[in-house]
Amino acid sequence: MKLVKSLLLGSAAGLIAVGGAQAADLPVKAKAVEYVKICSLYGAGFYYIPGTDTCIKLGGYLRAEVALGTNSDFTLNQNVSTQGANGARNRLTNYYTARAREDLNIDTRTATEYGVVRTFFDGVFSWTTGNYVGTGSATGTTAYSGALATATTPGATTTSLFGSGGGSVNGTDGNTSGGSLGVYYAFIQFAGFTMGKAVSQFDAPWTNYPGNNFDGLVGGSGTVTGVNQFSYTADFGQGVTASFSAEDATSYYQAGNLNLAGATASSVLGAAYGSNAIGGSRSPNLVGMVRVDQAWGLFQASVAAHDNHVAYYGATEPTGHPDDKWGWAVQLALSIKNIPTGAGDVINISGVYTDGATRYNFQNLAGSSYAMFGGSSVAYGSLGFASAPDTVFTSAGGGSSQETVKTWGFRGAYTHNWDPYWNTAIYGAYAQAQFGTLAKTTLCGAGGAGGGVIGAGFAGVTSCNPDFAVGQVGVITRWTPVKNLTFSADVAWTHLDQKYAGIVTPAALIPVPAKPVATYELKDQNSVVLLLRAQRNW
């Protein structure tokens, strides 16, 4: 019996030992793989970054386009029109400008006990036809900006073959495959605050685009590539918000503080009414905004204050300086949705008034200086010129205070959807600039009766007044055959209504390619540009 018991216990111990060995040899269960998970907190397209509670969304577009009738792609260069080879309108003017662009934006959001922390970045990689910057002379050097190399043969005209958007706000490296890089937006949002480069709180939500692709519209503010700011937005519910913002003035909002004593008869023809005497930055622009955004549409009221800080009357400190002059602007914007003409149809309109803050009307991508040549039946050619700085002053007679330039304008568009694939927008804009007594007396003489820089410089002037207006009308049609792929054609007409008249013979001309010293008729000018675009959003 003892023997049987011993055998049973021994067998049991052996089985336990074998079983333990087999268990030790089994594979250990692997940790779960962290797959990318959809984040539904902030809308479609967001995903959790693996291992974090932060959601991320990638987006952007690829665009290919050509602009006809402009020396530079008007989606990134100011003035449709107006200066250098573009304003010259001769054989040295580009008849087309092409661009290819990739846009990348990165949106991250994290829920915290203080609310959502958001970061947003938007950058663009572009390659653009170079701007023609040649002199056109038989012995000079002509080139497209951004060219890698030019010939140096004495007496030969040199023309380079490529460029990459030279002169654009994004710059260029001049390489056939290098292109240019632009940073549109880079900001942090937290607890109602926006810190970094973003659209101005002053702007209407559609910025430069009430219904168009063309971004050179006057008649309102437009910071489509972002302005550095520190802003706070309060949300009162029911679509009602209010913002206060301190925004960098140096990139977007300085139209010029001109010393009229630097004006000459020749410089005035190039829309240079004096020497630009902007001083160092002293104060950001201060902006306030109230918005009501609901199903019927949107209403917004914006105000801004702009400090005009001038350097010196002369080249050195002892020459003195005028005191700072604060300018201001106010803008009203209205969007009407669900109108009876069709599903998705919309009307967007805005109006603005400025006093010493010109860039809130003649916005940065539209520009505020014009020097445009054309034909004439009574002279060698015609010329229209105008300029709208923020303020003017003079160092003559011991120096004056700053005098503000006042402007007003509006822009708007009506967009109609023909069907889910086609839509058309009709749009327009208008802006007017008005000068004060100091500017008019210095440039045109007392009461505009003669004398002054222009009257004394040109015997043939019959009407002298620096006030001017710009009117614009355009139409765009878009076709979206499949989701997120759109083809568009946008044509825009710009009219410069300047107040000078007469026939002048300047002793010298501003550096305009190939334009001779001859007789020119002072009169209004027009330009027409066409933008053809293909864009794939993703």
Angstrom distance (rounded) from CA 282 to CA 209: 31
Radius of gyration (Cα) for the chain, nearest Å? 31
Provide CB contacts within 8 A for 229, sequence distance 6+.
194, 195, 196, 197, 198, 200, 201, 245, 246, 247, 248, 284
Q: What is the DSSP letter of 150?
A: -
Q: In a 3-state reduction of DSSP, which class is residue 24?
A: helix
Q: In a 3-state reduction of DSSP, which class is residue 330?
A: strand
Q: C-alpha angle with apex 155: 154 to 160, nearest 5 degrees?
A: 80
Residue 120, φ and ψ in degrees, nearest 5: -140, 135
Choose among 235, 205, 473: nearest CA to 334. Answer: 205
Angstrom distance (rounded) from CA 61 to CA 103: 5
Q: What ranges in 234-337 are assigned the alpha helix state H?
A: 265-269
Domains detected in the chain: 35-537 (2.40.160.10)
Structure tokens at 212: 């168009």
pLDDT per residue, tens digit, the chain (538 aa), is 444 444 444 444 443 444 444 444 555 555 555 678 999 999 999 999 999 999 999 999 999 999 887 755 443 333 434 455 666 677 777 778 888 999 999 999 999 999 999 999 999 998 887 666 554 444 444 454 544 333 333 333 333 333 344 444 344 444 566 678 899 999 999 999 999 999 999 999 999 999 999 989 999 999 999 999 999 999 999 999 999 999 999 988 999 999 999 998 888 888 889 998 999 999 999 999 999 999 999 999 999 999 999 999 999 999 999 999 999 999 999 999 989 999 999 999 999 999 999 999 999 989 899 988 889 999 999 999 999 999 999 999 889 999 999 999 999 999 999 999 999 999 999 999 999 999 999 999 987 767 789 988 888 899 999 999 999 999 999 999 999 999 999 999 999 999 999 999 988 776 676 788 899 999 999 999 999 999 999 9
Angstrom distance (rounded) from CA 131 to CA 149: 15
The DSSP element (H or E) to which 4 belongs, if any, is: helix 2-25
HEC readout, 357-412 = CHHHCECCCCCCEEEEEECCCCCCEEEEEEECCCEEECCHHHCCCCEECEEEEEEE
pTM: 0.85
The dihedral of CA 214, 218, 220, 224: what is its sign?
positive
- Per the CB < 8 A criterion, the answer to whether 351 and 335 are in contact is no
In DSSP notation, 58-118 reads: EEEEEEEEEEES-SS-TTTSS-SS-SHHHHH-STTS-SEEEEEEEEEEEEEEEEETTEEEE
- Please give the pLDDT value at position 4: 41
Structure tokens at 251: 């990139």
- Please give the pLDDT value at position 158: 35
- Per the CB < 8 A criterion, the answer to whether 355 and 406 are in contact is yes
Q: In a 3-state reduction of DSSP, which class is residue 240?
A: strand
Angstrom distance (rounded) from CA 194 to CA 190: 7
Angstrom distance (rounded) from CA 475 to CA 481: 20
The dihedral of CA 440, 446, 450, 455: what is its sign?
negative
Partners of 336 in the β-ladder: 297, 347
- Please give the pLDDT value at position 175: 56
Angstrom distance (rounded) from CA 132 to CA 115: 51
Q: How many residues does the chain have?
A: 538
Choose among 207, 233, 365, 226: nearest CA to 289. Answer: 233
Structure tokens at 147: 């060219």
Q: What is the DSSP letter of 523?
A: -
Question: For strand 227-237 and strand 369-374, is the pairing parallel, antiparallel, or unpaired?
Answer: unpaired
- Please give the pLDDT value at position 85: 60
Structure tokens at 402: 């700053």
Choose among 536, 416, 421: nearest CA to 481. Answer: 421
**b/e map of 95-128 (b: 16 or more CB within 10 Å)?**
eebebebebebebbbbeeeeeeebbbbbbbbbbb
- Per the CB < 8 A criterion, the answer to whether 450 and 464 are in contact is yes
- Please give the pLDDT value at position 131: 64
How many whole angstroms from its chain centre is CA 402? 27
**b/e map of 193-226 (b: 16 or more CB within 10 Å)?**
ebebbbbbbbbbebbbbbbbbbbbbbbbbbbbbb
What is the identity of the amino acid at 187? Answer: F
Structure tokens at 172: 């260029």
405, with CB counted inside 10 A (0-12, 13-18, 19+), is buried
Choose among 291, 188, 191, 190: nearest CA to 237. Answer: 291
How far CA 375 is from CA of 89, 269, 440, 521, in Å, comes to 10, 16, 28, 9
